[in-house]
Amino acid sequence: MQQVQEKTALIWFRNNLRVNDNISLYKSTQDYKKVIAVYFFDPKLFQKDTFGFRKTEKYRAQFLIETIKDLSQNLANLNITLFTYYDSPENQIPKICEVFSVETIYSQKEWTLEEINTNKLIKNKLSKNINFIEDYDQFLFHPNQVTKNFNNIPDVFTTFRKKVEKQINVLPELRILALDKNNLLKNPTTLPTLHELGFNEFNTKTASAFPFSGGENAALKRLKYYFFESKKVVFYKKTRNGLIGANYSTKFSPWLANGSISAKTIYWNIKEFEEKHGSNQSTYWVVFELIWRDYFKYISLKYDNKIFKIGGILDKDYHWNSDKKIIQNWINGKTKDNFVNANMIELKETGWMSNRGRQNVASYFAKELLQDWRIGAAYFESLLIDYDVHSNYGNWMYVAGVGNDPRDRKFNTKLQAERYDSNYKFRELWLQKTLF
């Protein structure tokens, strides 16, 4: 790499892996003629956590590789080079800044512990003259519009929902224009392979309810299909508790989780659909789910690291167990409950589980088996393609009775199975043995 004297903007991509509606990309290309981008496959995210699970397992790792490959091409179409490293950001960003005379770093704002620690490590190595601009870019309703003080966020979802629906407008999508072709550089970096990240190659199971690739292009293709081609969104509220197949729900969550598509893009497409084809409970319910997603992010902003504590945001002093055999049986789908087992095997085999399944297996783990809910949450973090830190820990707290549910409910998994899998098709699909 040759020394470049002209001042440069660096976009550090995190969970905002798209070129459409991306505030860091928008600001950097507005402010600078020379822009480069970087993404890190941070080794810390592929190591084992305190409970013995790899923080990122093969399913999300493969999805991430596909996503970054897609992002690299989409950025190249804007004449921006994406450098990729299998290394820690704190090791490489200071070097990049020096080589390319970086004046400003643009990035998506994160606020959970691991991300904050990474920021500190980077800033400690950077010249004080380098600007570090972070923007919230993962919300439907932007924090600047919602509140000046996160402590004011209601602890009951319905209160939050009614307030934002009534008082807050969703901002328009941002459109990014291509830079001059001279901005595109030779790229000596390469994407790590699945093997280099520590995994064996694998084929997606044909029975997977999520048979899709990673990346913004795949996300937009799915959105177009689900809304405008098949119009399956019209039936979303009726089908969303399904268990088998790709189309019982939107399946947007994996792309939303790593930022391949923005919540705003989904929202404005819903509005376009409603203008053309009319609205109903189902079109509204997609927005309703996006508001739930926002809400867990606001709860995380309000309570900070309490979302990772055993007592949750309610500081509940329940007794939790940590029985390795019981936990392993739950992971392997060898509990006394065949509906739980089928869902857990689906997760283990595909990296995906339905929303209905997640609620049941989490409730069974915390309320029936009485195991430390954080262990279940960590396992989900490892396996799920659509892992999102705020939604994952928010939902686990909710089900375990230490979060945003004052009723502290327990799912009756037998009745749930009768209601949602009365014909045993889902259980037969994943248990592959006689169930009668």
pLDDT in tens, 32-73: 999 999 999 999 999 999 999 999 999 999 999 999 999 999
Please report whether residue 181 resides in a domain: no
Give the model's confidence band at 126: pLDDT under 50 very low, under 70 low, under 90 confident, else very high. Answer: very high
Is the separation of the CB atoms in 200 and 194 below 8 Å? yes
Q: Same domain for 330 and 405?
A: yes
Domain boundary among 80, 114, 137: 137
Entry pTM = 0.95
Q: Same domain for 344 and 268?
A: no
Residue 383: pLDDT over 60: yes
CATH code of the domain covering residue 18: 3.40.50.620
CATH code of the domain covering residue 272: 1.25.40.80
Please report whether residue 167 resides in a domain: no
Please report whether residue 129 resides in a domain: yes
Number of other residues whose CB lies within 10 A of the CB of residue 315 = 10
Number of domains in the chain: 3
Give the model's confidence band at 434: pLDDT under 50 very low, under 70 low, under 90 confident, else very high. Answer: very low
pLDDT in tens, 254-263: 999 999 999 9
Domain boundary among 259, 280, 304: 304
Q: Same domain for 341 and 282?
A: no
Q: Same domain for 318 and 288?
A: no
pLDDT of residue 217: 98
pLDDT of residue 433: 52
Give the model's confidence band at 2: pLDDT under 50 very low, under 70 low, under 90 confident, else very high. Answer: very low
Is the separation of the CB atoms in 408 and 366 below 8 Å? no
CATH code of the domain covering residue 313: 1.10.579.10
pLDDT in tens, 208-250: 999 999 999 999 999 999 999 999 999 999 999 999 999 999 9
Q: Across residues 295-299, what is the average pLDDT? A: 98
Q: Same domain for 280 and 342?
A: no
Q: Across residues 134-153, what is the average pLDDT? A: 97
Is the separation of the CB atoms in 215 and 71 below 8 Å? yes
Give the model's confidence band at 408: pLDDT under 50 very low, under 70 low, under 90 confident, else very high. Answer: confident
Long-range contacts of range 391-398, CB-CB < 8 Å, 24 or more positions apart?
391/257, 391/292, 391/293, 391/296, 393/296, 393/300, 393/307, 393/308, 394/295, 394/296, 394/299, 394/300, 394/307, 395/296, 395/358, 395/359, 395/362, 396/362, 396/366, 397/307, 397/312, 397/313, 397/373
pLDDT of residue 274: 98
pLDDT of residue 165: 96
Give the model's confidence band at 402: pLDDT under 50 very low, under 70 low, under 90 confident, else very high. Answer: very high
pLDDT of residue 315: 94
Give the model's confidence band at 6: pLDDT under 50 very low, under 70 low, under 90 confident, else very high. Answer: confident
Q: Same domain for 317 and 405?
A: yes
Is the separation of the CB atoms in 262 and 142 below 8 Å? no
Q: What is the mean pLDDT of the chain?
A: 95
Please report whether residue 153 resides in a domain: no
pLDDT in tens, 29-41: 999 999 999 999 9
Please report whether residue 288 resides in a domain: yes
pLDDT of residue 406: 63
Q: Same domain for 226 and 271?
A: yes
Q: Same domain for 106 and 63?
A: yes
Q: Same domain for 291 and 320?
A: no
List the domain range (segments joined by +) for residue 37: 8-137
Domain boundary among 284, 304, 324: 304
Q: Same domain for 113 and 24?
A: yes
Q: Same domain for 238 and 321?
A: no
Please report whether residue 145 resides in a domain: no
